[in-house]
Structure 1
Amino acid sequence: MTTWFHSWRAAVRIARRDAWRSKGRSFLVLAMIALPILGVSAFQLTMRSSELSAEQSLERSIGAADAQLTDAQMAGVPILQDPKGEQNTPVEDFAKTDKPWPSGPTDVAKAIPAGSTVLTDTDGTAKLTTTHGLLQTQIRELKAADPMARGIMTLTEGSFPEKNDELAASTAFLKSSGLTVGSTLTARGFDREYRITGAYELPSDLKTEQVNALPGAFLAPYAAAVEKAGSPRPDVTTTYLVTRSGGFTWNMVQEINKKGVMVVSRAVVLDPPADSEVPLYQRDDFHRYEDSAAGTAAALAAVATVVGLAMLEICLLAGPAFAVGARRSRRQLGLVGANGGNRSHIRAIVLSGGLVIGVAAALVGTVLALLLTFALRPLLEEYMGQRFGGFTIRPLELLGIAALAVLTGLLSAIVPAVTASRQTVLASLTGRRGVRRSSRVLPVLGLIAVALGASIALYGSVVTDQVLIVAAGSALAELGVVALTPALVGLFGRGGRWLPLSPRLALRDAVRNRGRTAPAVAAVLAAVAGTVAVSTYAASRDAQGLNEYQPKLPFGAVAAIVTEEGGRDAPAVREAVQRFFPVDSRVDVSRIAVGKPGCAPWGGGKGCGRFEIVIPKANECPLWVETPDGSDPSERFTPAQRTKLLQDDWRCKGMRGDGVYVEGNMLIADAPILKVLGITDPGAAKALADGKLVSFSAPQVDKKNDTVGIRLITDLEAYDKAGQEHKPLPGEIRSLPAYQVPGEPLSYGVQSILTPAAAKAAGLTTVPMGAYFTTDRLPSTEQRQKLDGEIAKLGSEVDLTLEEGYVSKNSLVLLALTVFAGLVTIGAAGIATGLAQADAEADLKTLSAVGAPPRVRRTLSGFQCGVVAAMGVVLGSAAGVLPAIGLRLTEEREAVRFYEQSLAEGWGSSDGPPVMPIVVPWETLAALLVAVPLGAALLAALVTRSRGALARRAAH
C-alpha cells in the first residue's frame, strides 16, 4: 500500500510540473473541461436558489395569514379540494346526472369562522393614464401595510397607501408608464386623481404591472363610473386573508368546502394529510397532475445522453492534447523506465496528467460558477421574473458535477497513457516511434455498431413511435462510425496519390499516425454529426411550417380591429395606421351591434347582445346536429362513416385558411374590401352593388331561396339557457338575399360581407370596427413602434394584424449550430495539428536539410489541419442525417395516426393528411464541407512559424 501511494504521489507531482511547464496546452484542456462544469454548476445553483420552500411560497401568496379563502365559483355547492388548494371539484358528480354544471358566486364571508381577523384582497383591471397614454393595469386593493400582508409585496421606495386618494405602484408599472413616486394618475373615464406614494415589487412576479390601493378606494368607484358611461362593468375577484387562534386544520378546511369555498391553509400545506384522508384523491374521475414515472425516466435518459455525449466530445478533443504531452515527455518517460519503472508507473504518470487537469478544471469551474451566479443574481432574478428564495448551495450536488470533470480528465488520458506505456525504453530514449499495426477488432465492432444502431433507429421510426428508440439507435450508429474512424482514415489516404506535395505529405502523415488523427477526426465527426442532425431536423420543420402556414391576410395587408366600447376609437385608429404605415388603400369596416351602442363585441354587460349566422337545418353537418337527449350526435355513426362525412360531405367541411377574427366572421364594408382580400370573382362585386350579402361559406346559404339568416340575440341568459335545455333559440331572425361565391376561395376567415347600405336597409344597427389596408411595402420596425405608441395613447384594445408571410424561426439556430461546429472543428483540427508538428519535427528538419523552402512548414501545417477537418466534416455530415430522418419518420407516423383518429372520432380537419417533408440544409452543409476545413487550414498556416527553433543535440 505504501509503495502504491508513493508511486502515485510521485506521478502526480511529475504531472503537475509537466502541466505547469506546458501552460498553453494545459490551459486549453482545462478550459475545455471547465466550461461545461461552469455551465452545469451555474444552472444547478440558479435552479436550486429559485426553488421556494413551502413556507416561502405561502409568505408570498398569503403573507402572515393562517389561510386564504376563495370563491370556487360553484354556486355554493359542496366541493372537494386538494390539501394545497390548487384543485377542486363538486362533491356531486354532475357528469353522471342531467343537472347542469354548477356555476355562480358564493358568499365567502359567511364561511369565515367567528372571531377571525379578516383582510380582503381584491383584484381588477383598469386603463390608467401614463406619460405615454393609457396602460391596461392590474388593480389590487389590499392593505399592504397590515402585518397580515407581510411578504406579499416588498416595498422598495416610499410607503404603501394610507388614504383613499393614494396608490403604490409596482416597479414594472413605473418603468412601463414613465411615472415616478410622487406622480399623480387617474383612469380612463374616471375623474378621480390618485398620488403614487410608494414603489413595490411582487417577489414571485417582478414583471407584473400593478398598482395597490386601500380596500374600496379604487375599484368600486371606478366600476360605477364605467357603468354610468354605458360600458360593461369590469370583472372583480376578491379573496380573504384570515387569521384565527389555532389556525385552520384539515377538518376545518373540509367543513368550509361544504359551503363552496376553497381554502389555502398554512397548517395543512406545511403538514399535509395522508392521501387516504383526502376525499378528492379517492374520486375515480380525478387525475393528479404529477410527473409520470415514464416521463421522469425519459427526462433522466435524455439528460444522461446529453451528459454522455458531452463527455465523449471532451474526451475526443482532450485526448490528443494529452497525447501531445506524452509525446513531448517521451524522453522523460523513457528515463522512468530506464530507472526501474514499469508500464504501470508510466500509465500512472500520464493518467495523473488527466487527474491534475480534471481536479483543476473542477475547482475552477465550480468556483467561477459560485462567483458568477452570486454576482449575476439580480440579473438572473430579473430574467426569471422572480426573486430567489436564497442563495442555495448543495455541496453534494456540486461535488457530483465536479466529479464529472475529474472523470472526464481521467477518461481523456486513458488512451494516451496506454499508448505511452507500450513504447519500449529504447524507442522512448532514441525518439524512434516503431511501427504498430492498427487494430482489426475495432473496425469490426464499429461495423456491428453501425448496422445495429441503424436497425434500431429504423425500427423506432417505422414500427414504433418511441423517439428515445430512434435517438438510442442513432447514438449507437454514431459511436460505431467513431470506432470505424481509424479504418476510414486509411481509406482517405488512398486519394493522396493525386494530390500535390504538401497535401500529399499531410494526408500520408495523418494516415500513418492514426493514433493521433483518429480521435481528432472523431471529435469533429461527433460535433458535425450533431449539427447536421439538428439542422436537418430544423430545416425539415421549417419546410413543414411553410407548408402548414395559414396567412391571416394577403401579403402586406393590414387589419386594425377595435374590440371594445362600441368602436369609439375606430376613426382615430384608422387615421393612425394611415399616418404611420405606407398605406396604398384603405377600406373601413363595421360590425352589427345588438343592444346599447357602447357594448363591446361578442356581448357582455347589461343591455348588451350579439348576433349569429343561422345555419339552415338542411345544411347542418349530421355529425354536429344536436340530439333530443343531449347525447353526442357523432356517436350515431361508425368511425368509417364519420371519416367519410368529414372528407366528402360539403356540409362538414370547414373554412379554408385562417384569418383575423371578427364577430360572426362577418364584415360590414363596401366592395373595395374584395380587392383587399384578394377576391377576384366579378359576381361578388355585382352582388354587393345589388345590396346582397356575399357568402364564402356554403352551409350559410339557404339553397331554397338564396338567403342568409342573421339572429339578433338581445337576452344572452335566455339564449344560453335554451341551448342547455335543447329548446328553440330565442332572437329575431333577419333574412337577407345572398350570393354564394363559387369554388370556396381563400377569404382569410371572413365568411360573409354586407355593405353598410344593405345593412341599414335590413334594419341592422352598425358601429365602426376599424379598417383593412393594403400597403405598397412592408412597414419598417420604426414605423411599427411609432404606430404602437400612438395606439397605446388611445387606450382602446386594438387587434392589429400585419401579414408578413412565413418567417422562419430557425435561421438563427442554424447559424449558431454552424458556428459551433466550425469552432469545434477548428479546435480539434488544431490539436491534431499541434500533435502532428510535435511528431513531425524531425521530418521537417529533414525537408529543410534537403533544400525545402521555409514556407513548407507553414503550408504543411495548414494542410494537416485542413485534412483532419475535412475528414471529420465529411464523415459527420453522413452520420448526422440518420437521426434526423428517423425522427421525422416517427413524427409523420404519429401525425398521420392522430389525423386518422380525429376523423374517425368526428372532429378532425378535412384538409387532408399532414405533410412531413425531410429537407437537407444544403447551405449549412456547404458551409461545413467547404468553409470550415478551409478556414481551419488557413488559421493553422497563419499561426505556424516558417522556421523551427534550433534543437539541441539529443544525448544518447
Structure 2
Amino acid sequence: MTGFTPLLRLAWRDLWRNKGRSLVVFLMILLPVLGVSAASTVIATASVTGSERVVGDMGTADIVLGFNGNNDNTVHAVDVLPKMEGQVRAALGAGTATALRAHGTLRASTDKGATRVDAYEADLANPLLTGTYRLVSGHLPRVAGQVAVNGWLADRGPGVGETLEVRGGSSLRVVGIVEDPFEKDSGRAWGRPGELIPDRRAPGSVGDVTVFAKAAGALDLRRLADLGKDGYYPTTRDQDVANYSGGRGLNGPDLAVFVLVVVMALTEVALLAGPAFAVSARRRQRELALLSANGGTPRQVRAAVLTTAFVIGGLAAAVGAAGGVLVGWLVSPVAEQFGSTWFGPRDWSPLQVAGVALFGLVSAVLAALVPSWLASRQDVVRVLAGRRGDPAPARFSPLLGIVLMVIGGLLTFVGLVGASSYGEIWIGFGAVTTVLGAVALMPLILRLLARSTGRAPLAVRYALRDGLRHRTRTVPAIGAVMATVAGVVALGIANASQEAAGEKTYEPRLPMGHAEVNVWSDYGATDDVAKQWTAVVPVLKRLAPDAVVVRGMADEGGQSIMLRGGGDDLYGDFSGPFNNGVAVASKVPAVDFGLSQSEVEQADAVLARGGAVVMGRQAGGLSHLTLVRYVDDSADAQDADGMKEAQRLRVPAVAFAVKGRPLATAIVADRAAERLGARVSVAGALINRTVSTAEAKTLEEAVLDVADGGDVYVERGWQPDPEYALMMLVLMVVGALLMVGGTVTATVLALADAGPDLGTLSAVGAAPRTSRAVAMGIAFVIGGVGAVLGVVVGAVPGIAVTWPMTSHAYYYGGSSGSAHTIDIPWLLLAEVAVGVPVLLALVVGLCARSRLPLVARID
C-alpha cells in the first residue's frame, strides 16, 4: 500500500463506521477552536482601529477644520459661523462641498427633572456627515422643530413622539433615535442649524464649530496655511488615522491572562483528544494487526492512525473557525450592551482565526502521535489472540517531565524579572511548559498513588490501577483536566489580585454608600453658583431632608485662601464639595470627617474660640494657624502667584491625622472667616446614609432641574471595569465547562474501554451497583487528580503574573508605596479541587449503567 489516497479512504471508512466515537473527537476539537475564534472575533469587533474611527470623526469628508472659541476668549465660536464655510471653499477652490456642525451643551427636561446634554446642530442629510452618527430608529430631523436624541436621553423621558424641552430654549419634537458612533453613556441630541442650542452667544453654549470639506480635485494643504493662522485647526483623514492610537483591545496584563487561558484551552484539545485516539486505536487494533500481518510496515500503521486524526482534526478546525467567526458576530451586540462605548463594525482577524484553526489541526495530529506509535509497536499475535495491555512506559518519561518543569520555571522567571517587554507572554508559555512537564510525570504520580491506596475502596483502587495499566488513555485525560484547572486557577488568582490591588490604591471620597451633591458654573462665576445653591437647597430638603448643607470659603471669584502653620503652606489631600478644601462652621458639621468622638469634642472647643481644625496631615503640636486672604489686583504689588495679600489672621488651631482621604483640609470658625473678610457660601451637601442608584439618579435630575450645572456622587468603592469583568467571567465559565466536559468525556471513554474488565467482574460475582461505583471511581480519579495537580501548577503562573498586573507605584497622603498584591481565591480553589470532582463523580454514578456486561475472553 503506497500513497496517501488509500490512507484517506481508510480514515473516511473508519469515521463513517464509528460515527459516535468520531463525533466525540470532532466536538473535542471543534468546541475549543470555535470558542477561541469567537472570542477573537468579539475582541476584533470591539476594537476600533484608526481607519474605522476616521469615519466617525470625519464622515466622508477629506478634511475637517475646527474652531474652539474657548481657546480665545476674544472670539466666540458663533462669530465664525457666517464666514467659516466661505473661507474653506475659497481656500480649497471652486466645487468644494462643505457641511457645518456646531457643538455645545444645554439642559433638557426629563421625567424627573433635567439633565445636561451634548447638543449638535447640523444638516444630517448632508452626505459629508454620513458616518458621524448612527440612525437607530425613526428618522432624521427634516423640518423646523424636529430633533433626534440618543438612547441614553430617550430612556430618561423625551423618546420618539415626545417633546424635548430645552431649558431657556425651544420645545422640539423627537423624531428619531440617533447614536454617537463611539460613546453612549451620556445625553446627546441632534437638531437643525440654529434651532437646538439656546442663547448661542452665552458662555459655554457653543463650544466649537467644525467644517467638513471635500475638495473637487486634489487636496492642496498649502492653501490652508492662512486658515491655520486665523485659529482654525485642520485635520486630514491620514492625520486622523495617525493621531488615533487607541482601540479597545486587551492591554499587556489582560492579554497575558487571555493568552494563558486560550493556550491552556487549546492544550486541552491535544491532551483530551489523545484518549479518544487511544481508544479508537485500541478498537482498531485488530484491523491494524491484520495490516501488519499482511506486510504493513510500522510506518504505514502509524500513518493510518495519523491520517484519521488529520481528517477529523481538519474538519473540526475548519468548521470551528468558521463557526467561531459567525458566533462572535452574533454575540458582539450582546456583549456591547455591557460596556460604555459602542463596538466598531463587524470585524475579525484572519491571521488569528487561521492560527487557532491550525493549532486545532496540529493538536489533533499531536494527540494521535502516541497512540499511533503504540499501535505500530503492538504484538500482532497478542492482539489477534484478543489480549490487551499497554507496553511499559519509557524510562526517560520522568526525566523529561523534570526537564520540562525546569524550563517552565525558567520561562516564568524571565517574564517575572521583566527581561522582556512581553513578560506576561513568557509567563503564559512557561505555564504551558510546566503543564506538559507534569503530564510527563503523570505515570510516576499514578504509580505512587496506586501503591499508597491499598486500603482504599475497590472503585478507587480499580480506577487508579486501571489508569496506570492504560496510561495512553488516562494520562492525557488527567493532563487535560489539569491544564484547564491550571488556567482557571491562574485566571482566578490574577483577577482576585488585580481587584485587591485596585481596592488597595482606591481613595474613597466619602464613607461607603454616602452621597455628595455638587453645584458649579461652567466659568466659575461665584455669584452664579451661590444663586444656584439658593434654588438647590429646597430641592434637597424635599427629596433628601437628612442632607447636611456645608458652607466653605470660595477659592475663586477674585480671592484665594492660604493656610500656613509652622512656616509651611498646608494643602491637604482632599476631594469633595469644599472648593479649596476649607469648610466654615461654628462646630464640626454632622458628617463623617474621620474624627473620633473625643476629637470632635476637642475640635468644637477650638471652633468655639474662633479657631481652626486641620485634618489629613501629620501636624502634631500645631497650636496656631495663619489664614491669608489674597485678592486679584494687578495694579498693586503681587506675590509669586499674581495675587495681592489683603488680610492675614492668626487663630488657635488643632491638627488631627485622619486615616484615609479627608473631606476637607480644614474647618474654620465662622468668626474667623468673618474677621478674615473671606467670601463664604454654600460649598456642598452630604447625605450620611446609603443612597441607592435610583435615588441618586432622581436627585441629580432634580438638581439639574433648577441648576445649570451639578451632579450627585455616591461612594461605591472601587469598581472594576465592567468590560474586563465580563471578559473574566466568560473565560472562567468556559474553563469550568471545559473541565466538566473533559472529565465526563474521559470517563465515558474509559468505561467504553473497560468493557472486558467489567465483564470479568460480573463473571466473578460482582453486584450490579459495582459498575456505578467503578464509573464514579474513574471520574473521581481523573477529575480529582487532575484538579489537585491543576491547582498546584496553575498557582505558580497565577502568582507570577500578579507582578506585571498589579505592580505600580502610588502616592497618597505624603507616603508612597507599591500596589503589588497577591490575593488567593481560596473558595475558588476549593471548588475546583474538591467540589467539582466530587460533584462529577456523583453525576457519573447516577448516569452510569448498573448492569455489568458479559464478555467472552479468549486466552
Deviates more, 1:169-178 or 1:406-415: 169-178
Instruction: Identify the residue that residue 749 of structure 2 maps to in structure 1.
Output: 835
Structure 2 CA distance for partners of 1:400 and 1:743, relative to 1, 3 Å: closer
What code does the residue aligned with 1:854 have? P
Aligned to 1:82: none
Q: In structure 2, how many angstroms separate the alpha carbons of the residues matched to 1:540 and 1:151?
A: 41
Is the CA contact 2:398–2:444 (under 8 Å) kept in the aligned structure 1? yes
Structure 1 residue 859: deviation in Å?
0.5
Pair 1:940 & 2:859 matched: no
Give me the whole-angstrom Cα distance separating, in 2, the residues matched to 1:402 and 1:465.
Answer: 28
Q: Does 1:926 align with 2:845?
A: no
Tell me how far 1:666 sits from its aligned partner. Answer: 1.7
| Aligned counterparts of 2:429 and 2:734: Cα–Cα separation in 1 | 23
Q: Does 1:29 align with 2:25?
A: yes
Q: Does 1:694 align with 2:613?
A: yes
2:583 equivalent among 645, 667, 672: 667
Gaps of 5+ in 1: 77-101, 273-286, 594-601, 621-650, 900-906
Counterpart among 239, 259, 277 of residue 210 in structure 2: 239
For the residue of structure 2 that corresponds to 1:673, the secondary structure is coil
Question: d(CA) in 2 for partners of 1:140 and 1:866?
Answer: 64
1:174-221 Cα distance to aligned partner (Å, 9 max, x none): 633432444333322x153333455544455566643233333343x4
Q: Does 1:248 align with 2:219?
A: yes
Alpha-carbon distance in 1 for matches of 2:180, 2:718: 38
> For 1:183, which of 159, 162, 165 is the aligned residue?
162
| TM-score calculated relative to the size of structure 2 | 0.83
Give matches, 1:368-407, under 5 Å.
368-369=323-324, 371-372=326-327, 386=342, 401-407=356-362
TM-score by length of 1: 0.76
For 1:589, which of 546, 550, 574 is the aligned residue?
A: 550
Distance 2:654 2:751 in 1: 80
Distance 1:216 1:780 in 2: 39
d(CA) in 1 for partners of 2:350 and 2:623?
Answer: 80
User: Residues of 2 paired with 1:53 and 1:263: CA distance?
Assistant: 21
SS of structure 2 residue aligned to 1:169: strand
Look up the match of 2:401.
446
SS at match of 1:134: strand
Residue in 1 that maps onto 2:801: 887
Is the aligned partner of 1:874 residue 2:793? Answer: no
1:325 paired residue number: 280
Q: Does 1:137 align with 2:49?
A: no
**Conservation of the 8 A alpha-carbon contact between 1:560 and 1:573:** no
Offset at residue 685 of structure 1 (A): 0.7
Deviation of residue 419 (structure 1)?
2.1
Report the counterpart of residue 88 of structure 2 in structure 1.
Answer: 112
Query: How far apart, CA to CA, are the structure 2 residues paired with 1:51 and 1:801?
Result: 30
How many residues of Structure 1 are paired with residues of Structure 2 in the alignment?
Answer: 833
Whether the aligned pair in 2 keeps the contact of 1:166 and 1:197 (CA below 8 Å) is: no
Judged with a 3 Å threshold, the aligned counterparts in structure 2 of structure 1 residues 781 and 216 are, in CA distance, closer, same or farther, namely: closer
Contact 2:563 2:626 in 1 (8 A): no
* Counterpart mapping for 1:599-610 below 5 A: 608-609=557-558
Looking at structure 1, the residues matched to 513 and 342 of structure 2 have their Cα atoms a distance apart, in angstroms, of: 39
Which structure 2 residues correspond to residues 856-875 of structure 1 after superposition, within 5 A?
856-875=770-789
**1:679 maps to 2:592:** no
Contact 1:124 1:140 in 2 (8 A): yes
**Alignment-derived partner of residue 618 in structure 1:** 567
Structure 1 residues 301 and 418 mapped into 2: Cα distance closer, same or farther (>3 Å)? farther
Q: For residues 343 and 411 of structure 2, what CA distance do their matches in structure 1 show? A: 46
Alignment of 1:711 onto 2:630: yes
| Residues 403-444 of structure 1: CA deviation (Å, up to 9, x unaligned) | 333333222222222222322222333331245221111211
Corresponding position of 1:192? 170
Partner Cα distance (1:59, 1:53) in 2: 10
1:330 Cα deviation from its structure 2 partner? 3.0
- The answer for the alignment partner of 2:524 in structure 1 is none
Closer/same/farther in 2, CA of residues 942 and 569 from structure 1, 3 Å limit: farther
Are the aligned partners of 1:701 and 1:708 in contact in 2 as well (CA < 8 Å)? Answer: no
- Deviation string 1:625-681 (CA, Å, 9 cap, x unpaired) is xxxxxxxxxxxxxxxxxxxxxxxxxx7xx746x643531012234524266323232
Contact 1:464 1:890 in 2 (8 A): no
Which amino acid in structure 1 is aligned with residue 24 of structure 2? Answer: L
SS of residue paired to 2:845:
helix
Cα shift readout 1:33-91 (whole Å, capped 9, x = no counterpart): 22333344445556667888988765544445443222388989xxxxxxxxxxxxxxx
Q: Matched residues in 1 for 2:729 and 2:624: separation? A: 60
The one-letter code sitting in structure 1 at the alignment partner of 2:832 is L
Instruction: Tell whether the 8 Å contact from 1:333 to 1:428 is kept in structure 2 after alignment.
Output: no
Find the counterpart in structure 2 of residue 38 from structure 1.
34
Tell me which residue corresponds to 1:98. Answer: none
Partner of 2:450: 493
Change in CA separation of 1:818 and 1:430 when aligned onto 2, cut-off 3 Å: farther
3-state SS, counterpart of residue 219 of structure 2: coil
Contact 2:610 2:670 in 1 (8 A): no
| 2:684 counterpart residue number | 770
Q: Give the drift of 1:686.
A: 0.8
Aligned to 1:498, what secondary structure does the other structure show? coil
Instruction: Name the aligned partner's letter for residue 7 of structure 1.
Output: P
**1:15 matched residue in structure 2:** 14
CA displacement at 1:804 relative to structure 2? 5.1
Kept in 2: contact 1:586–1:772 (CA 8 A): yes
- Root-mean-square deviation over aligned CA pairs: 4.5
- Which residues in structure 2 correspond to 1:722-733 (within 5 Å)? 726=640, 728-730=642-644, 732-733=646-647
Look up the match of 1:334.
289
> What is the aligned partner in structure 2 of residue 215 from structure 1?
193
Q: Distance in 1 between matches of 2:826 and 2:688?
A: 36
Does residue 1:68 correspond to 2:64, yes or no?
yes
Counterpart-to-counterpart distance in 2, 1:125 and 1:802: 24
Question: How far 1:447 moved relative to its partner?
Answer: 1.0
Cα distance, 1:662–1:358 mapped onto 2, change above 3 Å: farther
Matched letter for residue 194 of structure 1: L
Q: Is the CA contact (8 Å cut-off) linking 2:122 and 2:193 kept in structure 1?
A: yes
CA contact (8 A) 1:135 1:792 kept: yes
Alignment-mate amino acid for residue 514 of structure 1: R
Whether 1:167 aligns to 2:143 is: no
User: What SS class does the counterpart of residue 540 from structure 1 fall into?
Assistant: helix
Q: Which position in structure 2 is the counterpart of 1:511?
A: 468
CA contact (8 A) 1:560 1:574 kept: no
Runs of at least 5 residues in structure 2 that lack an aligned partner in the other structure: 522-527
Pick closer, same or farther for the CA change 1:732–1:790 going to 2, 3 Å.
Answer: same
Taking a change above 3 Å as real, the CA distance of residues 460 and 687 of structure 1, as seen in their structure-2 partners, is same
**3-state DSSP of counterpart to 1:928:** helix
Identity, in percent, stands at 28
Change (3 A) 1:365 1:135: same
Q: Which residue of 1 aligns with 2:529?
A: 566
Instruction: Sort the Cα spacing of 1:566 and 1:694 in 2 relative to 1 into closer, same or farther, 3 A.
Output: same
Indicate if the aligned counterparts of 1:561 and 1:798 stay in contact, CA closer than 8 A. Answer: yes
**Distance in 2, Cα, partners of 1:54 & 1:457:** 35
Q: Which of the numbers 794, 800, 805 marks the counterpart of 2:712? A: 800
Secondary structure of residue in 1 paired with 2:510: coil
In 1: Cα distance, 2:508 partner to 2:802 partner: 25
Matched, 1:847 2:823: no
Q: 2:379 aligns with which of 424, 428, 443?
A: 424
Contact kept? 2:64, 2:211, Cα under 8 Å: yes
